[in-house]
Amino acid sequence: MANQAKAYNFKARLRSEWALEKPSGEILPLSEVIRLLAAVDATGHIAGACKACGVSYRHGWGVLRDAEKEFAAPLLDTSRRQGTKLTAFGQHLIWANRRVDARLMPTLESMASELQEELERLYPESQPRLRLHASHGFAVEGLTQLANGLDMLPLELRYRTAIEALASLNHGDCDLAGFQVPVGEFEKPILQRYSEWLDPEQHRLIFLAVRNTGMFVQTGNPKNIVSIADLVKPDVRFVNRQIGSSTRSLVGLMLQQLDIDPSRVQGFDNSEFTHMAIAAHIASGMADVGIGVETAAWRCGLSFIPLAKERYFFAVHRETLQAPQMRHLLDLMTGEQYLQYMAQLVGYDATGMGSVQTMETAFGPAFARSLSASRKELSKS
């Protein structure tokens, strides 16, 4: 039993690392180089970077100098007055790494959650886990990390689009399905996308937060992008979210409202899977504009142009609300620790977080009635 108790404390983790292979076949790992470059960028000098990375000055300096020799390009620009900065080459390296991390993170976290589940199945006395399917978001990410730090509330996360998550809930493959709905004129058409999977009789909604969604542009907005209409400018490169995502659907609706064919938008078919990947794409100079949650723009030092506010919910089966694990989750969402986390998320408003709502309360009686009628017609057919 002691061995079982120890096993329960393990958390499966998967991380991305990249390396370079020389023509000779020799492998050059870049993880330490990237960490040091990122620390130099943050601290402004090599000594501070080495301290932050837990290595000696001699070792850190040697690693960076060896990397410069291998790349045949300078990574650092040092002056007595201004300290140490990264060269353009060095900046591109760390942004490439951030872009890779942002792109792979949902896949790696989902795979780690699956691995954790497989390991726990080896122990018959392991705790039941709440299964959450949701698109990537900073509030969801923080909730998962906090929940998995508590032995009483293991939370299994799979990153999915909103429709995939709601379909999983209907098929019994998850306990909570995350989805977002824009406030205002685009609410109804987005809700229609979800209507096949939402049941006013069987489902209840747990409110998470309102978040700001808008355009990310380079600091100072050099392309003078102020609205969706500017996506068709010939010198503007756009990066989109993946097919099936609610953000991509929102962009499509906004273009449709302006009678703009998506084919006129340069880069409309280029896509990323997370808000941070969109921001890193722009920060690294690979695109001029993308759309996502304000938090990602702030973290990457980009300018943000608001477009919409979105309400984020978890859909659940009403009979599961009284389950002990679900009650623990609701207590966690309204607890001080998570409230403090949400308070520091730029672009999020957590007022009313953790409240349980019906479809009628959340979206109005007309939508709830039409949803019920649609489901009755589907059941007849």
3-state secondary structure of 210: strand
Token pair of 326 as six digits: 């679900």
Token pair of 332 as six digits: 């966690």
The stretch 263-281 carries a mean pLDDT of 93
Q: Among 229, 305, 225, which residue's Cα sits nearest to residue 264? A: 229
Work out the mean pLDDT of the chain and round it to a whole number. 88
| pLDDT tens digit sequence for 147-169 | 877 665 778 888 899 999 999 99
pLDDT at residue 298 greater than cutoff 80: yes
What's residue 91's pLDDT?
85
- Angle at the Cα of 262 from the Cα atoms of 259 and 267, rounded to 5 degrees: 145
**pTM summary value:** 0.81
DSSP 242: P
What's residue 152's pLDDT?
59
| pLDDT tens digit sequence for 209-256 | 999 999 999 999 999 999 999 999 999 999 999 999 999 999 999 999
Helix (H) or strand (E) holding 40: helix 31-43
| pLDDT tens digit sequence for 97-138 | 887 887 777 777 777 777 777 776 776 666 677 899 998 889
Q: What is the CATH number of domain 24-95?
A: 1.10.10.10
- C-alpha 225/C-alpha 230 separation (Å) is 6
pLDDT at residue 7 greater than cutoff 50: no
pLDDT at residue 2 greater than cutoff 50: no
What's residue 22's pLDDT?
83
| pLDDT tens digit sequence for 307-333 | 999 999 999 999 999 999 999 999 999
Query: Where along the chain do its domains lie?
Result: 24-95, 127-379
CATH architecture of the region 127-379: 3-Layer(aba) Sandwich (3.40)
